[in-house]
Amino acid sequence: MTTTAPSPTRWSDAQLDEVFGPVFARIAEGAVDREQHRTLAHDEVDALREAGFGALRVPAELGGYGVSVRQLFRLLIDLAAAESNLPQALRVHWTFVEDQLRAEPGPDRERWLRAVADGVLVGNAISEPGVGAADRYRTTLTRDGDGWRLDGTKYYSTGSLYADHILVAADLDGERKAVLVDATADGVTQHDNWDGFGQRLTASGTTGFAHVYVPADRLLGPGYGAPGRTYATAYLQLVQLSVLAGIARRATDDVAGWVRHRTRTYSHAPADLPRHDPLVQEVIGRLSSTAWQARTLVLDLAGRIDELLDAGGEDPDLLDALELDTAHAQSVVIPAVLDATTQLFEVGGASSTSEALRLDRHWRNARTISVHNPLIYKLRSVGDHVLNGSDLPYAWSAGAR
C-alpha cells in the first residue's frame, strides 16, 4: 500500500488545495450517479488514500502532512461538498490518529502513525443492535493463549467497508475495551445493509465477529463511553457539523447552477428569468449564507481544538468551554441547514424534484447526519448546565495506550 509522499514540511492552505482540489473535483463528478445506484465509494476512497488524505495529521517526519486541526476540518468541509458520505465514513479514523498523536512516544505510536502515512484507514464497530446505550456491549473478548477471541455483532459500522482496520468496542470481564481488528481477518463479516434514507454510502452496515483472533498488542484501552472529560466528543461532533457545512455548500452550488440556466418561470413571477427573480435570489442567498455560517463555526471550533491540544489537551476549563460551544454550534447549524435544504425547492416548482437532479439528497443527507447525536439531548444538557451548573456529558475515549 503506497500513497503520494508529502514534500513540504509545513503546508499552506493553498498548497493543500493544489493537492486535494482535483481529487475532490473528481469525486464530486460521480456523486449523483453513486446516489442513484447506491454504489459504494471504493474508488473514491482509494483516490483519497493515494493522495495521503488519511495522513493529514500525521507529522511530516513520519510521512504525513502534519497539518493543523483547522486545516484538516477545512478540507473535510471541501470533501463533504464533493461527497458528504466520506467525511462521516472517516470520522473515527481521525480520532484514532489523534489518539496516537497524543500517546506516549514509543514503537507502538510510531508504528501506527507510519501505517496511516502509508495509507491505512480505520473504521469502527461500536454500536450494537438492541442495546440501550453505546457503552453496553454484548460483543465480548475471551482469553486465547497470548491473545484474545472476539465475538459479537455490531451495527452502524461506519466506514468499515472502506477500512483496513476496525476499531471495535467490546466487553472484557465487565469492563469496556477497544480493540483494533484487521478488516479481512478470519471470522469478520461485513454487510452493506444500512437502510437509512440518507448518507447511504457511508458503509454503515452490520459487522459480525465470530471467534476472531486479536493479538495482545491490539488491545488498546478503555473504549467508547469511558468516563471523564475528553477532547474527542467535540471533535467527533465537529466532523458531523463539517458534513453539514459541506452539504449546504454543495446544495448552493447545485441549485445556483440549475437556476442559472433555467428559462421556465411562472405567469405571476416578478421576473422573466428565474435568475433575475428576487424571490429565487432570496432562496439562493439563504443557502449561501447558511453554508458560510456553518463553515465559519466549524473552522472557529477546529481552531479551538488546536489551542486545546497544543496546551496538552487536559485543561478542564478549555475542555468544558469547547464542549459547550460545540453543542451551541450544533443547535445553530442543524436547523439552519435543514431549513435551507428544504427551502431550496422553492426555486423551481415540481421540476426541482427531478430524480436526475437529486436535489433531495441534500436534505436527506443533512437530516440523517443530524440525528446521529439528536439535538434534543444536547439542548437539554446545555439548559441543565446553564440553569444548574450541571456537568456537560462526555462520551468518547478510543483508548490511546
| Residue ranges of domains in the chain, CATH in brackets | 13-121 (1.10.540.10), 125-221 (2.40.110.10), 232-388 (1.20.140.10)
Please choose, from the candidates 85, 122, 124, the residue with its C-alpha nearest in 3D space to the C-alpha of residue 202.
85
CB atoms within 10 A of CB 144: 12
What confidence score (pLDDT) does residue 1 get?
55
With H, G, I as helix, E, B as strand and everything else as coil, classify residue 364: helix
Read off the pTM.
0.94
pLDDT tens digits for range 238-296: 999 999 999 999 999 999 999 999 988 887 888 889 899 999 999 999 999 999 999 99
Rg, the chain, Cα only = 22
Please choose, from the candidates 278, 277, 285, 223, the residue with its C-alpha nearest in 3D space to the C-alpha of residue 252.
285
pLDDT band at 134 (very low <50, low <70, confident <90, very high): low
Residue type, 311: A
Q: How far apart are CA 116 and CA 123, in angstroms?
A: 12
What confidence score (pLDDT) does residue 397 get?
39
Residue 39 C-alpha cell reads as: 454504489
pLDDT band at 128 (very low <50, low <70, confident <90, very high): confident
Check whether 202 has a pLDDT greater than 80.
Answer: yes
For residues 191 and 205, is the Cβ–Cβ distance under 8 A? yes
What confidence score (pLDDT) does residue 225 get?
64
pLDDT band at 174 (very low <50, low <70, confident <90, very high): confident
CA atoms within 13 A on the CB side of 319: 16
Residue 401 C-alpha cell reads as: 495506550
Rounded to the nearest integer, the mean pLDDT of the chain is 92
What confidence score (pLDDT) does residue 9 get?
75
Q: How far is CA 132 from the centre of its chain?
A: 23
Mean pLDDT to the nearest integer, 297-302: 98
